[in-house]
């Protein structure tokens, strides 16, 4: 465990049913708003309450409803360039991780001094110039809590994280109404993404008392709510939003590990959705790590199943991993790469690209070599 640690999080967080009404207070001193969202989110009317509040207060706004899903850095720059013509002084991002990540980038790129590509090389250049409100419409990425923005670098067939504390949100709203009609398949894959965040941050080399507090809290909420949330239970949906946010805070305080490192090439070249990529790689990496993280998994067992009748540490550790695997299976998330058209001939490239994600591999409690990575990819073909 680290000798020193810190916790950085959004300045103000509103949660609960009808939390969206707090937009009225948040925008009281705003001159013009840019609303970032997806076309499908716009069509569902999820931003209508926001628009009604802005109209009521006489605040002009511009809606950017064509934000890309899992954007390249080039697509992100295009949004930056269009925003910089809008004269908006506040951003409201309503959507999943991609919308929120692009909003973060825009918040530090209202300038001609540097670009998204420059931030890939030198994230320390970032300086916030636009305040942001993040409203997630999935319960999984935790992007609303983190200083990370993920973009695809096509020339490397890889997703890359730009990390800067300047991108931390000013406001966050967690309202279960925003995910009431989320398709169960998306609720499942994004929920497993949050589960990966929680268990990875808890077992990271950079884990500390701050990250443990939020990662274990997220883990317990997810284990007890993810399946009910996918079945439509609104209380469970709100708990999943909280869990996703907690896991995002854990990312900021600690960091993900080998699961995310090996999943990034799956999204970068093959465009497998991020939550599904993590779901595919979660069990191979966790079972590989088990000898090095056994005591931590025992801690997770004792937290979530305090009245369990298992006594031996090895059996408790195995129980936790088996339970996670059962949830993934119950949710019907794809568990092999072949179904996405990936074959053995492409494993070497996956290994090469995965081993480049050193920012996350160094967090893994057990060292992952290229041979180890190859074995794990082969497990899920």
Angle formed at CA 346 by CA 98 and CA 372, multiple of 5 degrees: 85
Closest CA to 241 of 96, 75, 46, 25: 96
Average pLDDT over residues 337-359: 95
What SS3 state is found at 160?
strand
Buried b (16+ CB within 10 A) or exposed e, 222-233: bbebbbebbeee
Within the chain, what is the greatest distance between any pair of CA atoms?
64
What SS3 state is found at 72?
strand
- Alpha-carbon distance of 170 to 114, in angstroms, equals 22
Average pLDDT over residues 327-333: 96
Backbone conformation region of residue 18, classed left if phi is above 0, alpha if psi is from -120 to 50, else beta: left
pLDDT of residue 259: 98
Q: What does DSSP say about strands 90-95 and 131-136: parallel, antiparallel, or unpaired?
A: parallel
Residue 157 has pLDDT above 90, yes or no: no
For the chain, the average pLDDT equals: 96
Q: What does DSSP say about strands 148-153 and 158-163: parallel, antiparallel, or unpaired?
A: antiparallel
- Alpha-carbon distance of 237 to 242, in angstroms, equals 9
Write out pLDDT tens, residues 24-55.
Answer: 999 999 999 999 999 999 999 999 999 999 99
Residue 15 has pLDDT above 80, yes or no: yes
pLDDT of residue 1: 61
pLDDT of residue 207: 97
Other CB atoms within 10 A of residue 4 CB? 5
Closest CA to 270 of 194, 338, 196: 338
Average pLDDT over residues 82-88: 96
Tell me the DSSP string of 339-366: GGT--GGGHHHHHHHHTT-HHHHTT-SS
- Alpha-carbon distance of 374 to 348, in angstroms, equals 7
Confidence of residue 158 (pLDDT cuts 50, 70, 90): confident
What domains are there in the chain, each with its CATH number? 12-179 (3.40.50.1970), 184-379 (1.20.1090.10)
Closest CA to 257 of 321, 206, 312, 323: 206
Q: pTM for this one? A: 0.95
pLDDT of residue 86: 96
Helix axes 97-107, 73-83, angle to 10 degrees: 60
Average pLDDT over residues 339-353: 95
DSSP category for residue 54: H
From residue 274, give the alpha-carbon distance in Å to each of 47, 176, 188, 264, 317: 24, 22, 12, 8, 26
Write out pLDDT tens, residues 210-265.
Answer: 999 999 999 999 999 999 999 999 999 999 999 999 999 999 999 999 999 999 99
Average pLDDT over residues 167-179: 97
**HSE toward the beta carbon, residue 84, CA cutoff 13 A:** 17
- Could you give the percent of the chain with pLDDT greater than 90? 95
pLDDT of residue 271: 87
pLDDT of residue 315: 97
Tell me the DSSP string of 239-296: HHHHHHHHHHHHHHHS---HHHHHHHHHHHHH---HHHHHHHHHHHHHHHHHHHHHHH
pLDDT of residue 3: 76
Write out pLDDT tens, residues 275-312.
Answer: 999 999 999 999 999 999 999 999 999 999 999 999 99
The distance from CA 291 to its chain's CA centroid, rounded to whole angstroms, is 27
């Amino acid at each position: 465990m680290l000798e020193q640690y810190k916790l950085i999080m959004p300045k103000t967080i509103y949660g609960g049913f009808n939390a969206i009404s707090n937009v009225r207070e948040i925008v009281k001193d705003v001159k013009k708003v840019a609303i970032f969202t997806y076309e499908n989110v716009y069509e569902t009317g999820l931003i209508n309450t926001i628009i009604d509040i802005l109209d009521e207060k006489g605040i002009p706004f511009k809606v950017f409803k064509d934000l890309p899903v899992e954007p390249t850095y080039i697509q992100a720059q295009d949004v930056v360039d269009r925003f910089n013509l809008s004269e908006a002084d506040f951003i409201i991002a309503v959507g999943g991780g991609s919308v929120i990540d692009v909003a973060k980038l825009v918040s530090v790129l209202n300038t001609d001094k540097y670009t998204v590509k420059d931030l890939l090389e030198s994230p320390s250049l970032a300086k916030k110039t636009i305040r942001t409100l993040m409203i997630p419409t999935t319960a999984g990425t935790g992007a609303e809590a983190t200083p990370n923005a993920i973009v695809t670098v096509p020339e490397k067939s890889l997703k890359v994280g730009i990390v800067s504390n300047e991108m931390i949100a000013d406001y966050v709203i967690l309202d279960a109404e925003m995910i009431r009609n989320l398709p169960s398949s998306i609720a499942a894959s994004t929920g497993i993404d949050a589960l990966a965040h929680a268990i990875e941050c808890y077992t990271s080399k950079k884990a500390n008392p701050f990250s443990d507090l939020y990662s274990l809290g997220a883990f317990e909420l997810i284990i007890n709510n993810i399946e009910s949330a996918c079945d439509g239970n609104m209380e469970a949906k709100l708990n999943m939003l909280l869990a996703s946010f907690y896991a995002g805070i854990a990312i900021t305080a600690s960091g993900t590990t080998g699961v995310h490192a090996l999943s990034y090439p799956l999204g970068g070249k093959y465009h497998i959705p991020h939550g599904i990529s993590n779901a595919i790689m979660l069990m191979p990496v966790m079972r590989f790590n088990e000898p090095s993280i056994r005591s931590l998994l025992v801690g997770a067992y004792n937290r979530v199943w305090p009245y369990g009748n298992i006594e031996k540490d090895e059996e408790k550790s195995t129980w936790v991993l088996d339970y996670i695997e059962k949830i993934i299976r119950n949710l019907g998330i794809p568990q092999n790469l072949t179904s996405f058209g990936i074959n053995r001939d492409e494993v070497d490239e996956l290994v090469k690209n995965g081993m480049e994600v050193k920012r996350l591999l160094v967090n893994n409690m057990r060292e992952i070599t290229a041979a180890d990575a190859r074995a794990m990819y082969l497990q899920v073909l």
